[in-house]
């Protein structure tokens, strides 16, 4: 991750492309799952307003912006707890910088709209047991840990961002997705049910988010490229699975 480029994200206008990538991801997943409320927010229009005049955002639009930015601000720390320590240490400088910038911008947008900022909580390995054991007990490869971390945390990121967008996501679906995901990636390897496999396949389109952010901010990041490749590979694997 190129820290110098992240230093450019200082104002709400600077975060417009970041927001646009997050909103596009939320919409793509929600549309693919046919959830209600997908079109409640015009992501492109909100991004344009954020870029031109953040004070002109409606309360509804501001909720969407704050949801994306706060969700991303606090995402890296719990994600890294699923990964080896050296990985977390390598990302720490850029991640902390990004967290501070996105939190501050989210607070600015929220203050103008009269909103209260709600910070989501993402699962960490110590919060979870799979068959009575740590979810990392049988997951040793670096790529396998990355895919597990993504599979768990992007369910929670999506739930947070979708709520901010006014998208109706069934709670029982989220609970079942988390349970099946942990069992599939960290437990017995039981196949995902068709609906949850579809959900995860759509969630693994976050490789598109990675590429959008990398291009928008000119990061030219080897790390981002690797993330996108792993996310795309898992999406392709899920897409190739057929019901027997």
CA 222 – CA 1 distance, rounded (Å): 7
Q: Which of 25-34, 44-53, 218-227 has the lowest mean pLDDT?
A: 218-227
Beta bridge partner(s), residue 168? 36
Judge whether 170 lies within some domain: yes
CA 55 – CA 40 distance, rounded (Å): 20
Output the average pLDDT for the chain: 94
Query: Contact, 118 vs 107, CB < 8 A?
Result: no
Judge whether 125 lies within some domain: no
Q: Kindly give, in sequence order, each residue whose CB lies less than 8 Å from that of residue 142, ignoring residues fewer than 6 positions away.
A: 83, 84, 87
pLDDT at residue 185, as a whole number:
97
Judge whether 58 lies within some domain: yes
Judge whether 17 lies within some domain: yes
pLDDT at residue 85, as a whole number:
92
Judge whether 158 lies within some domain: yes
Is residue 166 over pLDDT 50? yes
Beta bridge partner(s), residue 36? 168
Q: What are phi and psi of 168, to 5 degrees?
A: -85, 110
Beta bridge partner(s), residue 130? 133
Is residue 74 over pLDDT 50? yes
Is residue 1 over pLDDT 70? no
Among 186, 180, 216, residue whose Cα is nearest residue 198:
180
Number of neighbours of residue 117 by Cβ within 10 angstroms: 15
Tens-place pLDDT, residues 75-84: 999 999 999 9
Judge whether 126 lies within some domain: no
Number of neighbours of residue 159 by Cβ within 10 angstroms: 19
Query: Contact, 202 vs 28, CB < 8 A?
Result: yes
- What's the whole-number mean pLDDT along residues 8-35? 96
Judge whether 194 lies within some domain: yes
pTM of the full predicted structure? 0.95
List the domain range (segments joined by +) for residue 66.
3-120+131-240
CA 219 – CA 222 distance, rounded (Å): 9
CA 219 – CA 213 distance, rounded (Å): 8
- What's the whole-number mean pLDDT along residues 119-147? 94
CA 135 – CA 220 distance, rounded (Å): 33
Q: What are phi and psi of 101, to 5 degrees?
A: -65, -50
CA 122 – CA 151 distance, rounded (Å): 12
The encoded tokens of residue 109 equal: 């947008």
Q: Which of 104-108, 109-113, 214-218 has the lowest mean pLDDT?
A: 214-218
Q: How many domains are there within the chain?
A: 1
pLDDT at residue 4, as a whole number:
52
Query: Contact, 166 vs 37, CB < 8 A?
Result: yes
Judge whether 29 lies within some domain: yes
Is residue 140 over pLDDT 90? no
């Amino acid at each position: 991750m190129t820290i110098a480029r992240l230093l450019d994200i200082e104002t709400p206008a600077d975060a417009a492309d970041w927001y646009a990538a997050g909103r596009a991801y939320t919409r793509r997943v929600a549309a693919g799952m046919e959830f209600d409320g997908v079109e409640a927010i015009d992501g492109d229009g909100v991004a344009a307003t954020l870029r031109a005049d953040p004070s002109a955002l409606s309360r509804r639009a501001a909720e969407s912006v704050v949801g994306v930015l706060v969700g991303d601000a606090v995402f890296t720390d719990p994600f890294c707890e699923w990964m080896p320590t050296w990985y977390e240490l390598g990302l720490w400088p850029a991640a902390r910088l990004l967290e501070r910038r996105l939190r501050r911008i989210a607070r600015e947008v929220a203050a103008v709209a009269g909103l209260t900022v709600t910070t989501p909580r993402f699962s960490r390995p110590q919060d979870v047991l799979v068959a009575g054991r740590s979810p990392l007990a049988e997951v040793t490869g670096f790529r396998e840990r990355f895919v597990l971390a993504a599979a768990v945390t992007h369910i929670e990121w999506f739930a947070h961002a979708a709520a901010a967008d006014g998208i109706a996501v069934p709670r029982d679906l989220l609970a079942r997705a988390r349970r099946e995901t942990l069992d599939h990636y960290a437990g017995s390897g039981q196949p995902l049910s068709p609906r949850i496999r579809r959900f995860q396949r759509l969630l693994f389109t976050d490789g598109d988010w990675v590429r959008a952010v990398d291009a928008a901010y000119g990061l030219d990041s080897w790390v981002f490229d690797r993330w996108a490749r792993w996310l795309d590979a898992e999406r392709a694997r899920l897409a190739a699975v057929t019901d027997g």
